[in-house]
Amino acid sequence: MHSATFDLGAVRLEALTAGPSRGRLVILLHGFPESGDAWRVQAAALAGAGWRVLAPHQRGYAGSSKPAGLLPYRLDVLAADVLALADAAGAETFSLVGHDWGAAIAWHLASTSPTRLDRMVVMNGPHAGTVGLHTLLHPTQLLRSWYIGAFQVPFLPEALLRADDFALLRRAMRDTARPGALPDALLDRYAAQWAQPGALGAMLAWYRAIGLQVPTPARTIELPVTVIWGEQDPMLDRGLADAALRLCSKGRLVALPDATHWLHHEEPQRVNDVLLEALA
């Protein structure tokens, strides 16, 4: 596993890289509050199967650029970073894997730039174009997503999350995962990344820019899509997976009944097996 920096013009993205340089490209997109390091186990498996893997630290995270303000963190801008990364890698088309916010970006690209994508796998992340109606029909999802409203408050979330070496953020991840799924070494690596100047505010800007988003079109998605869903996710209910899949003409669901939001850490071998099958 290596690290490389890609100059995309507006931003520079640091990414973990693995696999043969002539292999088919797959890009792995992390969510909040992780980084490209979330995918080390999956990247190794994909590289071993001959894929060229890029797992970027997305804008605002780790060693990547952290633009000021909210406009640089709109979903269409974040999605454009992925296309620019593929261009920088010399790939006209590529496959895409996304978790949490990374899944939201993947859904956006599948709806707006489908000709660039070969296949797609999403994990516990909603299609932004279906969230509004789903939440109206299932108000409990609004309660599950309470933290999004809390993150809109200026300054206070940063102070609370940063306190005592990010104790609250570490505890939030551990308490919503299966015991032992998120080892101290991984959380320590994340904490060092969260502590970089401007990082925490930029990470929260993804949420604070939600009201500025261009809506993701809820149109039919023709490319092959696999959704892997941890059904014990306390933040996102299973109905969000079903709502997104109703847009997919070639979609399938792999439900993991005992996994939570952090399924790629809890059941890495199962996730790897599904990835290799879905992307083959």
| Number of domains into which the chain is organized | 1
The stretches in the chain having pLDDT less than 70 are none
Cβ atoms within 10 Å, residue 68: 10
Number of H helices, E strands in the chain: 12, 8
Phi, psi of 190 (to 5 degrees): -60, -45
Predicted local distance difference test score (pLDDT) of residue 151: 96
Give me the half-sphere count of Cα atoms (radius 13 Å) on the Cβ side of residue 198.
Answer: 11
Find the CATH number of the domain harbouring 203. Answer: 3.40.50.1820
Q: Which residues are the active-site residues?
A: 100, 207, 261
pLDDT for 188 equals 98
Burial of 40 (0-12, 13-18, 19+ CB in 10 A): middle
pLDDT, position 146: 86
Q: Which alpha helices (H) appear in the chain, and where do they start and end?
A: 40-48, 75-88, 101-112, 128-137, 140-144, 146-150, 156-175, 184-194, 199-208, 239-245, 263-266, 268-279
Q: What is the pLDDT of residues 22-59, one digit of tens each?
A: 999 999 999 999 999 999 999 999 999 999 999 999 99
Encode pLDDT of 224-243 as tens digits: 999 999 999 999 999 999 99
Q: Which domain holds residue 255?
A: 2-279
What pLDDT does residue 73 have?
A: 98
